[in-house]
Amino acid sequence: MASNNVDLSGAHWRKSSYSNGTGGECVEVSDDFPGLVPVRDSKDPEGPALCIPDGAWRPFVTAVKSAAFSRRGAR
């Protein structure tokens, strides 16, 4: 489901427990949408949100934790 089809204006956002406290890597999620997990960059709260179906949320988090999206190993 695309975020432009979902009104996120009333969302209550919480910072991920994996976000650091130095202003970097700050991710927020909202639990207000059954079947959907909106995710945004807390440094850009007016920017776009990535809306992930709840069934894909756990595999997404697992992939992020495993550094599957890391650029560190990219050349």
- What are the average pLDDT values for consecutive 10-residue runs of the chain, which has 75 residues? 72 81 77 94 90 92 80 57
Q: DSSP letters of 16-71?
A: -TTS-TTSSS-EEEE--STTEEEEEETT-TTS-EEEEEHHHHHHHHHHHHTTTT-S
pLDDT at position 22, please?
66
- Residue 13's pLDDT is 94
Which pLDDT score, from 0 to 100, does residue 20 have? 65
pLDDT at 74: 54
